[in-house]
A and B are shown apart, each in its own frame.
Chain A
Amino acid sequence: MPWYLYLALKQLFPSGRKFPFFTAISVLGVALGVMILIVATSVMGGFGQKIREMTVDTQGDVQVRAEGLIENPAALQAQLAAIPGVVATTPFAEGPVAVIFERKPQFPGMQGIDVNRVAGVVPIDRYIQHGSLADLDDDSIILGSQLALALGARVGDKVEVYSPLAFEKLKGNEVMLPRALRVVGYFEFGHQALDSSVVLVPLRAMQDLYGLGGAVHGINLKIAPGLDPDAMAAGINAAFPRAAHLHARSWIEINQDFLFVLQFERNMMFFLLMFIVVVAAFSVTSSLLIAVVRKTREIGLLGALGGKPRQVAACFCFQGFFIGVTGTAVGFALGFGVLAARDDIIGLFMKLTQSEAALVRFYQFRHLPRYSDPAYMIAIIVCAIVISTLAGLLPAWRAAKLKPVEALHSE
């Protein structure tokens, strides 16, 4: 082992000392920063993952729309189903409506779904809290849980639904009466915007309310697992002539703004929390600088014994590197330990603050989601080690700059 690495290790772990206190403090500083980064990015990643799953679960992998209405959805579905990689298709119609219950109005978006086919594309059943899709007929409706709460409507109650078609009818001096639909269930996606502003009805009911006849607004597709939704959408677009005026978009493209915000939020959190590591690195710099000052004469001696300035610099640089590597390893262990015990920690926190109900109500979770993105984990490792090594550079540079003759006679 080169002498400068040997000496660096001896300075980190002096002979005869059972516990290297100063080294442990420096390592702990980096470890805490890494731990917080891992926990925060993993939990944020978990939320992001959940939201992505929920988005695919409500929209399907690829959505095909026409410029206007799709007049013959059955024919188009057959064409789409014939494309390799398409597993299932389901038509939908959608639009805003007014829902009134006991003089309380709400204005959600209504989704008309093909009750028999929808489950093959989007697992809505998984999110229905009361009732089931099988209960849905032409005179019934499933409400978002938050919307039901806002209306005060319960299962069995009848709500009145007004369609924008009523305004069209008024122009011709016709009055379109509201449609009374019986509430047969609630769904809860765990997403405030969806749970408070969407209702589900059978496709035929939606077609009646919007006067669509047999037409639909689009077709949702499920593709084979492992296929790239963007590539599939591009393939579908290429498969249809321009004259068909069809446009397929993946769920990623449809939600790109939202996904960008999610990613941006996560990147910002990573960037801001990285400053914890930077602060820890400053403490490493500080302790190594003190060591350089304290060991000025020893550094002079090493020069007198034949040590080269770059070797003296390497001795201190290696200490920063070692603290970075060890701190990152300990931080990883602590971070994944905290993640493994996250539900117990949240449980204890809720017990202590008596906030379980609030947490579930506002954040819709009892179990903290987690996804440790390998790319982020690698970024944390690289950044923590690079920053800690850089922390050793200034002390190393100062040590290398010392002239042996001056260092030996320093006071």
Chain B
Amino acid sequence: MSNAILTSRGLRKSYLSGDRRIEVLQGVNLAVAAGESVSIRGESGSGKSTLLNLLAGLDAPDAGTLEWAGAPAHADRRALFLGMVFQAFYLIPEIDALANVLMASRIVRSPGAAERARAADLLARVGLAERAAHLPAQLSGGERQRVAVARALMNSPKLLLADEPTGNLDEHTGDAVIALLLDLCRETGTALVLVTHNVAHAQKTNRQLFLREGVLADVRGSGFKVQG
């Protein structure tokens, strides 16, 4: 894929569990194009989160290579290259919603008027313009996740990695968050890798993948095609 935003080749990861070594990922190959949305499903413990951590550069693979926009992935590029959304939101409780969104920018550089305007705009786009001055404790679960989505998009990333973003939300709120996530990615041309258990949410992405026995497979109709 020539315009690949994310390319992984032969990613392997294993863990020691007692005396036993568990091979969680056994050579994951994945290519995500700019603006493409990809979902990854899999059984609990199949290694979805492990894979997402590797793709985000938060963890190092035992073997394999990872490229972001054609260049080797490096932690120093992460802040500007990708955004992340987590199941547990991870908002900073001492600061309000607007400051939480701005935090992503603040880590890269001191925010100016343009960044503040963008953060406010993002909050408005996730439907929380009126809640900008509220602390996370004053927001509902769905609202918190929407703030997290806005934060993930703050630095205009090329890629957004979402790790079960609806896991802590009720079905209705979860649907709304996924719709918002997909809409925003489509609008901004951001590629999305969505890890989810929810089939309906997965079906809304451009491509559905399934992680089984440490290998990614493409879900097409009733069968699987191993990604190569």
Contact = CB atoms under 8 A, between A and B. Distances in A.
A126 to B, nearest CB: 62
Contacts of B99: 10, 15
A305 B107 contact: yes
Nearest to B134: A16
B58 A304 contact: yes
A14 interface: yes
Contact of A14 (B58, B59, B84, B93): B93
Given A303-B58, A404-B58, A16 B135 contact: yes
Please classify how large the interface on chain B is, using the bins under 10, 10 to 19, 20 to 34, 35 or more. 20 to 34
B107 A306 contact: yes
Interface in B87-101: 88, 90, 92-96, 99
Contacts of A6: 106
Nearest to A311: B107
A1 to B, nearest CB: 6
A138 interface: no
A16 B99 CA distance: 13
A11 B99 CA distance: 13
B78 interface: yes
Interface string A8-40: 001100111000000000000000000000000
B135 A3 contact: no
B103 interface: yes
Interface residues of A, number: 25
A7 interface: yes
Contact of A15 (B59, B84, B86, B95): B95
A297 B79 contact: no
Contacts of A297: 88, 90
Given A304-B58, A409-B49, A298 B107 contact: no
Contact of B53 (A15, A298, A301, A405): A405
Contacts of A3: 103, 106-107
A7 B95 CA distance: 9
A11 B94 contact: yes
A306 B90 contact: no
Interface string B196-225: 000000000000000000000000000000
B149 interface: no
B108 interface: yes
B112 to A, nearest CB: 12
A225 interface: no
Contacts of B53: 405
B90 A408 contact: yes
Contacts of B56: 304
Contacts of B106: 3, 6
Contacts of A303: 58
B96 A305 contact: no
Interface in B45-94: 49, 53, 56, 58-59, 75-76, 78-80, 84, 86, 88, 90, 92-94
B92 A298 contact: yes
A301 B90 contact: yes
A2 interface: yes
A266 B80 CA distance: 58
B79 A306 contact: yes
B104 interface: yes
A286 B2 CA distance: 53
A408 B110 contact: no
A342 B58 CA distance: 60
Contacts of A14: 93-95
Interface string A95-136: 000000000000000000000000000000000000000000
Q: Which of B78, B107, B110, B135 has the most CB of A within 10 A?
A: B107
A15 B94 contact: yes
Contact of A307 (B86, B95, B107): B107
A298 B90 contact: yes
Contacts of A383: none
B20 to A, nearest CB: 20
Nearest to A6: B106
20 contacts: A3-B103, A3-B106, A3-B107, A6-B106, A7-B94, A10-B95, A10-B99, A11-B94, A14-B95, A298-B90, A301-B86, A304-B56, A304-B84, A305-B84, A306-B75, A306-B76, A306-B108, A404-B58, A405-B53, A409-B49
Given A10-B94, A15-B99, 8 more contacts: A14-B95, A302-B107, A306-B79, A306-B80, A307-B107, A403-B58, A405-B53, A405-B58
